Every structure is written in C-alpha cells, then in structure tokens.
Structure 1
Amino acid sequence: MNRIKADVCIIGAGSAGLSVAAGAAQMGASVVLIEGHKMGGDCLNYGCIPSKALIASAKHAHAGIENAPFGVAEVWPDVDYAAAKDHVRRVIDTIAPVDSQDRFEGLGCTVIRENARFISQTEVQAGDTVITARRFVVATGSGPFVPPIDGLDMVTVHTNETIFDLRERPDHLLIIGGGPIGMEMAQAHLRLGCKVTVIEGAKAMGKDDPELAAIVLDRLRAEGVEIVEDAQASRVSEGDGTITVHTPKGDFTGSHLLMAVGRAVNVEGLDLEKAKVAYDRKGLKVDANLRSVSNKKVYAAGDVAGGLQFTHVAGYHGGQLVRALMFGLPAKARTDHIPWATYTDPELAQVGLTEAQARKKHGAKLTVVRSDYADNDRANTEGRTTGLIKVMVVGGKPVGASIVGHLAGELIGLWAVAIANNLKMTAISNTVLPYPTYMELNKRAAGAYFSPKLFDSAMVKKVVGLVQRWIP
C-alpha cells in the first residue's frame, strides 16, 4: 500500500475540484487530486459543454426556416444527426486539455485516477494509495436522477450521460421532465428533425418566473414541441420498437426516452460515515464556510455542497475554498448574486429574487421595472423583439432581475455585477453604451425606475419652473 501526505486532498475533478486544485497548487500547497471517472466532470463531458454544442447545431438547422422576413429565401435544413454529434465531440475534445491530467500534473498536483473512499477522519484510500491530508475537499458533483417508475428497468432510458453518444436520430423523443435540461433538449432535438413530447408531472419550467416561462413555452409549442403538464409518469412499457409513458393525462408513445427530472448528488461509495462526515440526500452538511459541520478537516464544493447545482457555482465555491484553505480566511459563500440561464430560444435568465420572491420578502418597498425587447432598436433590426426584462428594486438597489429573450444569458451579467457589488440603479443609468446594442435593454430598465421620479413629480416640475424663470 502506497502512502502520500498532502496539504489538500481533493475528491472529484469537475469544475469545483479543478478550481481548488489549480489555485492551491499554484500557491505552493501540496495537492492530491482524485478522479475515478473522467477529468472535467459532468460539465465538460455530459452537461454544459455538450448540451450547448448540440443547441448550436440546432440553431444553425433552424436559422434558414426564419429567412423570409429578411428578404432571403426560406431554406429547410438537411440535418445529419450523427454529424451534429461529431460537432459535440469536437468541442469537448477542444476544451478537454484545459481539464486534463497532464495539465494538472504540470501544475504540481498528484493526480490519482481511482475511486476514493474515506477510511478514517484523516485518511482517504484511492486504489492502492492511502492519502493523509491536512484538509479534504469533497467535490464529487451530481448525476442524473432516475426515479423509481414502474417498468423503467425494462426499457432503454437515456440521461444526459448517454444522450450525447446517441448517433441515430430518434424518430420521436419522449422527455420526462420539463425543467431547464428537458426544455433545452426538447427544442434542440425538434430542430434537428425529431418529433418531441415533454411530459412534466407539475408545471413546465415551474421554478422560473411564470410570465417569462410562458414566453419560452409558447415558442417551443409554436415550433412543434408537445408539452404535457400535470402528467406524472406512473408506468413505462415497451412495445414493438416503441416506448410508452403512461400518465393520468393519457399514454404517450415514442421511439426513445430521455429522463430529465433532476440531479442526485454523488456521495455513494465515499464511506463518509468512516470520516464522521454528516450528509443527507442533498449533499454534505456544511456551514456558511463550506466546511463540514461534523469533521472540520473536510470541506465540500459544487453540487455536493447541497445548494445551487450550476457549474459556475462550483467554480465560485472553488475560488472561495482556495481563499479559506490557503490563507485561513472565511469562505462565506453567498447565493443572492448567483445568476443562471436556460439556453432555449428565447433564453431565460435570472439573478437574485424573482418578482414573486421579492414581493413576499419586501412587500410595499418593492418597485418592479420593465424593459421590452420590442422597444430596443437592435432587437428590431434583427427581428428579435420577443422578450422582456424585469428588475426588482428596493431602496434604489436591484435585488433581482429576470430576463427572457435573445442573449438573456449574456444580459443578466450586468445585474449579477450590480447585485454582487451592492450597486445602485444609478450605476446602470449612468453607464454610456454603444448604440445599437441589446445591452441598452438593461439601461432602459434602469431609466424606467427613475422616469416616474423625474417626469411625474410635481415637485420636480415646480423646481424646473423656478429655475427657468430665474436663470438668464
């Protein structure tokens, strides 16, 4: 049995683990990085990167269908589904070296490609190596949750871990789950030539602002995605080359089945009990510093920390833990400034509180301002006029922003900056932007906050009247 001592031992080479490893190693700490599967974790291999690459292929396929309003002949695509998957693979392969074992060994990390498990409060075993470390970081992420639906074990069930390897285009893709993953994959596959039915047990995109979600769902339905809500899957059966999902709303038959109902954190096999690390189905139980409440040598980052499950949150946690582990400073991970986006067309993005959350928390102190894409000159030039921005403002500061429309995932960044840095709405309204750009939507929203105070105020009009009379 080999034995290694390290300052930091990291379990999991996804976004969180790699962020900690890179930062700690470059600052001179001895780092052991353990990964039992693929370097880069879920995001690179099964999540953000392949899904956005497939969505890009789907956008190209769809683009020609919308040519006519621009004076260009409508073109219906001839889609090569396997070639679209080749694009996905090329993108993964292009990015992979950044997350590779070679790169991290070059930074000074000891990389062990084995499954890890705790054998005591201060030791982890990976293969035939035992690692003793001053601090441990559990960054094992999450995987697709497959619920115990009757008959599911008798059919081929795809998840985000297998759908990107599928080379033969589905004739009719059934998707159980109407959240972000389900809706992104629904629109992408429809545009690549599949018939698509989404089966959701509650409301599709139910965690988003309902006004904004409705705009996305209307677009998907208009393109041809069948979305069935309040239809909890009770049973799955197999026919002659078909799969049927049985629900109270009826039976839905297709050629392939994709499960997209959520994520389950990866803690199985870690033997956390032997390290006296408390956890539940949401992940490790940690304090505000991402430190285990029951074993002070253990930290968690990313999905397994029990909070928001986004790659950028994992990276943020990683940065916070480098600060804590290298300098002994508190991590103090926040969530109020974390944005997220769903990459449908139109996109939907959020940071901070939704309107409903803000009204519940702030009541009469809340002001909600809006900016419509239809009023933006750049959006009009490109025919992208469907969408809006809502900003929730309390005491002159944004506490949340919701955007649906073209490039929403990009536009949300300005509000993330504002909330993270406690900026006032004046910081947005004072900003000069190039014309014409979509970013002016954000400035128009800020202007909408100040307009009533300036143009509808009797006091302002009185002051202006006096100034006009007295200034020569």
Structure 2
Amino acid sequence: MERIETDLCIIGAGSGGLSLAAGAVQMGARVVLVEGHRMGGDCLNYGCVPSKALLAAGKSAQAMRSGGPFGVAPVEPEVDYAAAQAHVARAIAAIAPHDSVERFEALGVRVIQAWGRFVSEAELEAGDAVIAARRFVVATGSSPLVPPVPGLEGVAYLTNETLFDLRTRPGHLLIIGGGPVGLEMAQAHVRLGARVTVIEAARALGREDPELAAVVLARLRAEGVEIVEGQAVTRVSGQAGAITVETSEGRHDGTHLLVAVGRRPNLDRLNLDAAGVEVTRAGIKVDAALRSSNRRIYAIGDVAGGAQFTHVAGYHAGVVIRSILLGLPAKARGGHIPRVTYTDPELAQVGPTEQEAREVHGAKLTVTRFDFAGNDRAIATGQAEGLIKVMVVRGRPVGASIVGPEAGELIGIWALAIANGLKMGAVANMVAPYPTLGEVNKRAAGNYFSPRLFDNPWVKRVVRLVQRAIP
C-alpha cells in the first residue's frame, strides 16, 4: 500500500473541498484530495445547478401562459419533460470540467478517487493509499434525510439525488416537505405541466419571515400547487405510479413521491472514532475556527453542523486557509451569510428576520420597508409584487428580507453591508442606475432616513433659519 505524506488532505470534492484544494495548492501547499463519488459534490450533480436549470425550464413554460398583460396571447405550452431534463444534464456537463479531476491534477493536486476512512488520529486510508497529513479537512457534505415514516421504505420515492434522472413527467407529484427544495421543485413541476401537492407538518417556509413567505405561497397556489400545512405524514403506501401519503387529517394520492424534509451530514464512512473526532447529530463538532476535537482535523460546509449552503462551504474554505496555510487567526461567522429560495418570486434573507431581530434587540430595532410596487422597473416589467424589509440597529443594518423578482441578486448589497459593518448611509449614498430593481435597496435605505429628515422639527427650524440668512 502506498504511503503519501502531505501538508493538507481534503476529504470531499464538493464546493468547499474544491475551493480549498485550488487555493491551497496555488499558495504552495502539498495537497491530496480524496473523493469516493462525483467531483463537484451535491451542488453540481444533484442540488443547486440541476434545480435552477429545471426552474429555468419551468419559467420558460410559464412565460407562454402569462403574456396577456403585455399584449401577447396566452397559450398552453407543449412541454417535453425529457428535453427539459436534458437541459439540466447539459448545464451540469458544461460546469463539470471546472470541477474535474483533470483540472485539479493540472493545478498540482493529487486526486484519489476512493472513499476515505481514518485509521488513526493522523492517517487516512483511501483506496490503495494511506495518507499522513499535517492537517486534514473533512468536507464530505450532506445527503437527503429520509424520515422514519411507516411504509416509506417499501415505496419507490425520489430525493434530490434521483429526481433529475426522471425522463417522464410525473402525473401527480407528491412532495413531503414545504421548505425551499420542496417548493422550488413544486413550482418547476407545476409549470412543466404536472399536478403537485406539497405536504408540510408545520408551516411552509417556516424559517422565513411570515409576511414575505405568504407572497411566495400565494403565487404557488395561484399557479396550481396544492400546499397542505400543519399535517404530519403518518404512513406511505403503494407502488410506482400509484402512491398514497396518509396524514393526520386525510390522504393524498399521486404517481410520484419526492422526499424533501432536510439533510443529514455524511459521516458514516469516515471512521471518526479512530481519529478521536467528536460528532453530534448535526455533524462534526467544531470551534469557531472550524477545528474539531482533534487539532489536526477541521470540518467545513454541511458536515460542520451549521448552515447547509454551497456558499457557506466556500466561505469556510477561506477561513481555514488563513489558519492552516498562513497561521493567522480566523473564525467563521454566520450573521452575514445570505440564503435564497429560488421560487418565482424569489425570497432572500441575510441576518435575522424581523421577529428574530425584535427578540434580540427589542426597542433598539428599527424596521424600514419598501414595496416593489414603487419601483419603476418592476412596474414596467409586470413584476411589481414584492417587499423589502431592513432591520436596523443604531444606524447599521443587522438583517434584510426581500421577496420579489431577483431577490437573490438584490440581497448581496445587504450581505456586503453587514459583513463590513457599514451604516445605512452607505447604501443611501449609492447612486443606482435608473430604472433598475436595484433601486429598491436605495429606497429602503432612504426610507430609514426620511422620518429623521422630514418629520424632525429641528431640521425644519434650521432650514428656515438658513433660508432667512441667504440673501
């Protein structure tokens, strides 16, 4: 068996592992990358990329139904579901070379395509090699969580890892889980001509601001998605093409079942006990520097037990690079990390929601708002339904919530402001091109200052005095 000694061994070639490997090797470190499945991880192969590609197909279909207000006669599109899924496959294939073994080997990374397992506190076995590294980083990501629902194990159900293999459109897609994944796939499929029922035990989009989530849910219901809330699934039965989901209040029959209730960290193959690494149900237990109970071993991304987003994994990679390669103090933060639900309209959040901010800041909190109905670009494009809220404490934004067109793009400026401790004046002073959706951010910031300027008697008194003094 080959023995490899290296500076850094990364287990997992998803977003975080690839970012770390590319950065570390180009900074002069010896890097070994271990991956037992597909390069690019969940995001490229089963998550972010394929879901957004299928959403784009659904959006094209919906555009044919919704042209009436623009003088374009609405028609029901002829949807070729297999062709829509072929578009998904092409999107993955176009991005795959950037994440490929060939690219990383060309950078100087030693890539081992095998599952890795720790055999000691300082050694990892993968394939025919034993890797001894100064530092290890576990970046194995997460997998779909399959709940212990009676009967589920005997039914042919889908997860995000198998959904994009379909080539025949579901007649009636049942979705267990009313979170972002469930609702994104619900809208994509109803727009592509399927009947869709979403079953959620609590409140759909329950993590999000209820006022903003209601806008998304109303749109999905208007497009034909049946959303059942407050009903826990008690049993699943049937066979391929005829599946029944029983809940606490009734039953739902469909042809296909998608399970989208969350994710679990990928830890099973790692033999972490041998490495002396402490784990919890959420993942590997890490400190603020993302270091585990074994000082040689770090964890990043989904497996680190925090927010499960591709961009978080990439951010974590930057944190550990500072610590591992440069010996600089570095800690991961969470307050500036945005998240987006890519429905139409989109729903984006950074920092706390209004309710969460009130619980923390109380009377110190000011919430400033602006409706997309006041944005000229949104009016011109027929997308004037939407809202932005910004949570402000002592003149600085601490959180922002946006529902509306391109909310995922618009949230970036608030993530920037929060990450760098900027004041609201920084956004208010920005000159946004007209007419753009980006003006909603500036208008929201302006609304924060408006009462301080227009409703302040001292400001009016100063203005009158100045006017009298000017000849």
Q: Same fold (TM over 0.5)?
A: yes
Whether 1:421 and 2:420 are equivalent positions in the alignment is yes
The answer to whether the Cα contact below 8 Å between 1:14 and 1:40 also exists between their aligned partners in 2 is: yes
What letter is aligned with 1:403? Answer: I
Give, in whole Å, the separation in 2 of the partners of 1:202 and 1:98: 40
Shift of 1:75: 2.1
Change (3 A) 1:32 1:437: same
Q: Distance in 1 between matches of 2:162 and 2:123?
A: 34
**CA–CA distance in 2 between the matches of 1:35 and 1:391?**
41
Give, in whole Å, the separation in 1 of the partners of 2:218 and 2:155.
31
CA 463–383 in structure 1, closer or farther in 2 if over 3 Å, else same: same
In the TM superposition, residue 169 of structure 1 has moved relative to its aligned partner by: 0.5
- Structure 1 position 433, deviation (Å): 1.0
Question: Following the alignment from structure 1 to structure 2, what is the Cα–Cα distance between the partners of residues 241 and 210?
Answer: 35
SS at match of 1:29: coil
- Could you say what secondary structure the match of 2:233 adopts? coil
Aligned-residue offset at 1:331? 2.4
Label 1:226 to 1:9 Cα distance change in 2 as closer, same or farther (>3 A): same
Q: Report the CA distance between 1:330 and its aligned residue.
A: 2.0
Provide the residue aligned with 2:367 in structure 1.
368
Look up the match of 1:301: 300
Give the 3 Å change call, closer, same or farther, for CA 381–265 of structure 1 in structure 2: same
Aligned AA (2:418)? I
Q: Which residue number corresponds to residue 405 of structure 2?
A: 406
1:272 is aligned with what amino acid? Answer: L
CA positional deviation for 1:249:
1.9
Shift of 1:325: 1.1
User: Distance between the aligned counterparts of 2:329 and 2:144, measured in 1?
Assistant: 32
Report the counterpart of residue 465 of structure 1 in structure 2: 464
Q: Does the aligned pair in 2 maintain the 1:201–1:229 contact within 8 Å?
A: yes
Equivalence for 1:49: 49
CA-CA distance at 1:239 after TM superposition: 5.5
Q: Find the counterpart in structure 2 of residue 172 from structure 1.
A: 172
Residues 240 and 122 of structure 1: CA distance in aligned 2, closer, same or farther (over 3 Å): closer
Match of 1:225 in 2: 225
Matched, 1:84 2:73: no
**Higher mean Cα deviation, 111-120 or 71-80?**
71-80
What corresponds to 1:321 in structure 2? 320
Match of 2:331 in 1: 332
User: CA separation in 2, counterparts of 1:425 and 1:141?
Assistant: 36
In structure 2, distance between residues paired with 1:240 and 1:188: 21
Residue 290 in 1 paired to residue 290 in 2? Answer: yes
Match of 1:392 in 2: 391
Q: What is the SS of the residue equivalent to 1:234?
A: strand
Whole-Å separation in 2 of the counterparts to 1:248 and 1:232 = 6
Q: How far is the alpha carbon of 1:28 from its aligned partner? A: 1.0
TM-score, scaled to structure 1: 0.99
Structure 2 Cα separation of the partners of residues 241 and 437 of structure 1: 46
CA contact (8 A) 2:241 2:256 kept: no
Q: How far apart in 2 are the matches of 1:25 and 1:249? A: 56
Kindly indicate whether the alpha-carbon contact (under 8 Å) linking 2:155 and 2:239 is maintained by their aligned counterparts in 1: no
CA distance in 2, matches of 1:181, 1:240: 22
Q: Deviations for 1:373-399, whole angstroms, at most 9, x for unmatched residues?
A: 000000000010111000000000000
Q: In structure 2, do the counterparts of structure 1 residues 240 and 457 end up closer, same or farther at CA, with 3 Å as the change threshold?
A: closer
Alpha-carbon contact 1:365-1:395 (below 8 Å) kept: yes
Q: Decide whether the 8 Å contact of 2:174 with 2:258 is kept in 1.
A: yes
1:395-420 CA distance string (max 9 Å, x none): 00000000000000000001001001
Secondary structure at the aligned position of 2:158 is classed as coil
- Residue 250 of structure 1 is matched in structure 2 by 250
User: How far is the alpha carbon of 1:329 from its aligned partner?
Assistant: 1.1
Contact 1:290 1:331 in 2 (8 A): no
CA distance in 1, matches of 2:291, 2:351: 24
What letter is aligned with 1:307? G
Aligned length: 471
**Matches of 1:42 and 1:326, distance apart in 2:** 27
Structure 2 Cα separation of the partners of residues 193 and 133 of structure 1: 52
Unaligned runs of 5+ in 1: none
Moved over 2 A (4+): none
**Change in CA separation of 1:102 and 1:240 when aligned onto 2, cut-off 3 Å:** closer
How many Å apart are 1:323 and its aligned residue?
A: 1.4
SS in 2 for 1:8: strand
* Native 8 Å contact 2:240 2:255 kept in 1: no
Aligned partners of 1:32 and 1:110 also within 8 Å: yes
- Which residue of structure 1 aligns with residue 346 of structure 2? 347
Rounded to whole Å, the distance in 2 between the matches of 1:367 and 1:308 is 26
- SS of the residue corresponding to residue 42 of structure 1 reads helix
Is residue 28 from structure 1 mapped to residue 28 from structure 2 by the alignment?
yes
Q: Name the counterpart of 1:268.
A: 268
Q: 8 Å contact 2:156–2:239 — kept in the other structure?
A: no
> Match for 1:231: what amino acid?
Q
2:113 maps to 113
Matched, 1:215 2:215: yes
Indicate the SS of the match to 1:119. Answer: strand
Q: Which residue of 1 aligns with 2:155?
A: 155
Compute the displacement of 1:241 (Å). Answer: 3.4
Distance in 2 (CA, whole Å) between partners of 1:247 and 1:20 is 44
Identity within the alignment, %: 66
In structure 2, C-alpha distance between the alignment counterparts of 1:164 and 1:418, rounded to whole Å: 37
Please give the secondary structure, in 2, of the residue aligned with 1:369.
strand
Matches within 5 A, 1:171-190: 171-190=171-190
State the match for 2:206 in structure 1: 206
Deviation, structure 1 residue 153:
1.3
Cα distance in 2 for partners of 1:246, 1:451 equals 53
Residue 280 of structure 1, CA deviation: 1.3
1:444 corresponds in structure 2 to 443
Report the Cα offset of residue 76 of structure 1: 1.5
Q: Which runs of 5+ in 2 are unaligned?
A: none
